[in-house]
Amino acid sequence: MINYLFKKNVSLKDYCTFHIGGKAKILIEVYNAEYLNKVCVFCITHHIMYKVIGMGANLLFDDNGFCGAIIVNKSEKITFKGNYVFAESGTSLASLISACKNKGLSGVEKLVGIPSTIGGAIVNNTGAFGCEFKDVVDCVWVLNTNNKKICKLKNKDCAFGYIDSIFKSGKYIILKAKLKFEKKEAEYIASNLTTCLKQKSTTQPINYPSAGSVFKRGEIIPAQAIDRLSLKGLTVGGAMVSTVHAGFIVNFANAKSKDVKKLIDILTNKVFLHFNVLIEREIEYVAPK
């Protein structure tokens, strides 16, 4: 059984949904929570710059790549105990939703179609259609990057907020989670899945790579503001404000990270000038060092 895979000088375009980025000096794929912990502890101990990623759905890698180690979390073990699910943090939302559907467990099916791991969903408190991932989190096992010890955090310890949690501090690496669901009829779960998938397919861009919503909602809804300014279709290099949803920037022609960053700056400035509101970026830019 392979626990991890070590690679050098790997293109990051293949490890994010934006399909943008240079090369990682080191890339390590880990296939279980035990080795995720071991690899992170090794990097911490030896002062190696590292970043743990899942599916890279909300990341913008720099064109110059990443000078340290990118750790790709592919730990995907799921077990069931009544209404509880124990899942390693590299488990995809798609796998979780499918497994829960088969068990008649409801709680996160409204997040269908979001390209994320459980770890990413916890870090960002991923939400859609009135559902937030925090609602199913019972507790989380994490690596404390300060003392290199594993500890358990309860839901109340996670400081969940809108697209936010304690895990954005970088102090913890999520290894696995205990999730609580509700028993529901198969028809109820299937209806939620169908409704949400249909709405996503008609309201969000699916023909070009993107990193999801670019900006957080705040005093205003950024997508509505950008739309009102007639900025759909605005391009910088190979990056474009989606013509389907103004809250998305898409990679329509081999965009560079500099194209996306410039387009974000333009949108931020124009919204500020017209609405006197400074919108906050949701996607994460990963600097080369």
Task: Give dist(CA 36, CA 72) in Å, integer.
Answer: 9
- Chunked into runs of 10 residues, the chain (289 residues) has average pLDDT values of 94 98 98 98 98 97 97 97 98 97 96 96 95 97 98 98 96 98 94 93 92 95 98 98 97 98 98 97 96
Task: Compute how many other C-beta atoms are within 10 angstroms of the C-beta atom of residue 227.
Answer: 15
Bridge partners for 131 per DSSP: 128
Does the domain made of 205-286 have the CATH classification 1.10.3720.10?
Answer: no
- Mapping DSSP to helix (H, G, I), strand (E, B) and coil, where does residue 184 land? coil
- Cα dist. 47→8, 28, 69, 167 in Å? 18, 16, 11, 20
CATH of domain 4-73: 3.30.43.10
Does the domain made of 78-191 have the CATH classification 3.30.465.10?
Answer: yes
Q: Which pLDDT score, from 0 to 100, does residue 2 have?
A: 92
User: 240: Cβ–Cβ under 8 A, 6 or more apart, which residues?
Assistant: 208, 233, 234, 249, 250, 252, 253, 263
Task: Give dist(CA 174, CA 26) in Å, integer.
Answer: 21
Side-chain half-sphere of 74: how many Cα atoms within 13 Å? Answer: 13
Task: Give the global pTM.
Answer: 0.95
Task: Give dist(CA 236, CA 207) in Å, integer.
Answer: 18
Q: Which pLDDT score, from 0 to 100, does residue 160 have?
A: 98
**pLDDT tens-place string over residues 251-276:** 999 999 999 999 999 999 999 999 99
> What are the extents of the domains in the chain?
4-73, 78-191, 205-286
